[in-house]
Chains A and B, each alone.
Chain A
């Protein structure tokens, strides 16, 4: 069978299960007694095993199988949840991940994980002396409804049987065999419960055996012979159910937990059914088309304004509302909760803080905050840098913390929230903070600034040196950070997403890195300006203000025009000269200054006319023209004309 068409689904789903396992294992470490978490873990591992086996990943299936054995021992309480077991299971996840991605890349799974398989086997052998007797009917738990049915049937002289069915090795259509068994038994009486649940049987999520509880008045021998007549099916055992005994075992919290878990599984299933996986490229196409629609709508509005037909205007207004709705809907479809990125950090923080012998509590806030898919894909890497930095440099070892009268367990806060059209992400630690004077000293030593300049720079400017390439205050390079490549990567990545980074720090109290990102990349607010006859768009997020150009405020400093705005001295750039606009030299009255910024630097762009603020759809210029410095792309205006979007960052 050609399985390649299922590859994408397999990869996506197995990734989901691995993430799920990861998250729940960490939860389990914190709440070792919670059975529903264990059930959830068990379920994910089991599904993963099934999927891996179907795709022919034998090693993956073997490893998950051994994990399952250990998990079931944990579930039965035969071994206790301890850190070393969680460690072992987590490293299994790493290997599973490696095997699956290896399989995806070169079509066969790498031969790893034998050590882990052995370790798991040892663990399960030492833990289980009596795992054989586990499926005695007295161990089976019934819920309240099933119990009441069992009791009622006993009162009216029905008998309840526990039937174990085994399918022959290599049975192809297991679900069909199970269905035949059900049909056969339904002739005799009522099936009140089966293990595994019917849904799993239908989806073939079971090995070669399953169990059924049947209420009947018929003779048990006859049922057995009828069942054995179905090919590839064998009755392994039939026992009468003793309700008194089972009712005792089912009382208490255990049962509550399991029903809760079942409920959550059911709701999970329901959620899965309502979602559709869509290729991100298709969403991009859709976004493009909606962008077109918006442009055409503006065009229609312009045309209609010349005719003064109220009916036409009404229709266009209606269409305007529809396009706006459609646009926001498509944007929403592209939005993904930042949880996707945040989810991997608990594990990372745990591993790094263990290896550094630091005790750290990670607090995550606002993980439901949504961001455009493209932003989500890019934001993970800078956050990893920031968190590593915080753990390695920011947070002190426990003994230092104790001396400084701080709680032994450090706090690392990762928070996201939406503010207008932006999303703010903060990474905050309560560590030792950044010593600004040390940064100043290092910056002078390493030649980033000259000594006199260093004395004059304010703290904020000094902190910004951290973002310079090659700068690191840490003199020792280690596994985790300190190579001086971190912060400049963070900054350039965030800026490529049209965002900004700021640091706030207080010595001894901690450091806070604040990332400000736009919600989406495809549509931005921009100011349209005219230079000569040409129109240009300047992204609004890099504009501080606009003002008249008053000739008296222009001064010359070393052949460079500067402009006095309140107390600031801003270099002036004449767009007509910068962009070599033809026919722009004749002065026709007023000129305007658009004050733009990059980080803390500011400059003024001189333009002829301010047209207005508008939402624009960013379009790439295509292969031939891409990468021209100074140009961020192009957009299509309401009249169908193309306007160039200026890349303000490259002007500094």
Chain B
């Protein structure tokens, strides 16, 4: 659904999973989320790229866990008992993303062309849009570019 709002911003109505990393609020489109689990023991993978924390055993499938906080330049809070792993998938790749807490699933009007996204001082590389929930800003995570970069990173590391 595409609405034209005042100010010429294109917003789209999306259903997102709302989670937090440190003080910030993020969202991931619900189609890309497979499930949300409590943290499982992570096995470190030697020689793996730096952004990979390790792998977990999700009911017999081996799934890499990405240090999302590192990639976004943020810091996860100390374990407060609420932390979760969001199992997300994009095309053939399934990954785990460690987050501080999952708030819920919400409908948002996402703005894909907000001027904030173009400002250089904010790390917006993996953010594709912004939505407002009450008085909070929710940054929509761009899983595709995140995983594309991850693959690139891997190739660089090989060379």
Smallest beta-carbon distance A523→chain B, Å: 14
Q: Indicate with 1 or 0, residue by residue over A138-152, a CB within 8 angstroms of chain B CB atoms.
A: 000000000000000
Contact with B57, one of A578, A581, A625, A642 (Cβ below 8 angstroms): A642
Decide yes or no whether A643 CB sits under 8 A from chain B: yes
Q: Indicate with 1 or 0, residue by residue over A53-94, a CB within 8 angstroms of chain B CB atoms.
A: 000000000000000000000000000000000000000000
| Most A CB within 10 A of own CB, among B46, B47, B64, B93 | B46
Q: Give the chain A neighbours of B125 by CB distance below 8 A.
A: none
Q: Give the chain B neighbours of A627 by CB distance below 8 A.
A: 154, 158
- Number of residues in B with C-beta < 8 Å to the partner? 26
CA distance A641 to B151 in the complex (A): 25
Name the segment of B37-45, B76-84, B103-111 touching the other chain: B37-45
CA distance A428 to B78 in the complex (A): 66
Q: Give the chain A neighbours of B68 by CB distance below 8 A.
A: none
Q: Give the chain B neighbours of A628 by CB distance below 8 A.
A: 45, 47-48, 154
Q: Give the chain B neighbours of A643 by CB distance below 8 A.
A: 43
CA distance A620 to B55 in the complex (A): 11
Q: Give the chain A neighbours of B47 by CB distance below 8 A.
A: 579, 628-631
Smallest beta-carbon distance B89→chain A, Å: 11
Given contacts A643-B43, A644-B45, contact A621 B60 (CB under 8 A): no
Contact with B60, one of A288, A580, A624, A641 (Cβ below 8 angstroms): A288
| Most A CB within 10 A of own CB, among B45, B59, B92, B93 | B45
Smallest beta-carbon distance B88→chain A, Å: 12
* Inter-subunit contact A624/B43 (CB<8 Å): no
Q: Indicate with 1 or 0, residue by residue over A247-288, a CB within 8 angstroms of chain B CB atoms.
A: 000000000000000000000000000000000000000001
Chain B, residue nearest A291 (CB)? B60
Decide yes or no whether B25 CB sits under 8 A from chain A: no
* Inter-subunit contact B60/A625 (CB<8 Å): no
* Inter-subunit contact A636/B60 (CB<8 Å): yes
The interface size bin for chain A is 20 to 34
CB-contacts of B10-59 with A (<8 A): 41, 43-48, 52, 55-57, 59
Contact with A621, one of B44, B62, B150, B158 (Cβ below 8 angstroms): B62
Decide yes or no whether A623 CB sits under 8 A from chain B: yes
Smallest beta-carbon distance A207→chain B, Å: 51
Chain B, residue nearest A629 (CB)? B47
Sample (16) of A-B pairs whose CB atoms are under 8 Å apart = A288-B60, A534-B43, A534-B44, A579-B47, A619-B60, A619-B61, A621-B62, A622-B63, A624-B93, A625-B64, A630-B46, A631-B45, A631-B47, A634-B45, A634-B55, A641-B43
* Inter-subunit contact B46/A644 (CB<8 Å): yes
Decide yes or no whether A383 CB sits under 8 A from chain B: no
Contact with B45, one of A288, A292, A619, A625 (Cβ below 8 angstroms): A625
Q: Give the chain B neighbours of A630 by CB distance below 8 A.
A: 46-47
CA distance A581 to B95 in the complex (A): 23
Smallest beta-carbon distance A503→chain B, Å: 33
Decide yes or no whether A640 CB sits under 8 A from chain B: yes
Given A579-B47, A621-B62, A634-B55, list of 16 further CB < 8 A pairs?
A291-B60, A295-B60, A580-B46, A619-B60, A621-B45, A622-B63, A622-B93, A623-B93, A624-B150, A624-B154, A625-B45, A625-B64, A627-B158, A628-B47, A628-B154, A630-B46
CA distance A636 to B92 in the complex (A): 22
* Inter-subunit contact B57/A636 (CB<8 Å): yes
Q: Indicate with 1 or 0, residue by residue over B142-159, a CB within 8 angstroms of chain A CB atoms.
A: 000001001100100010
CA distance A641 to B52 in the complex (A): 17
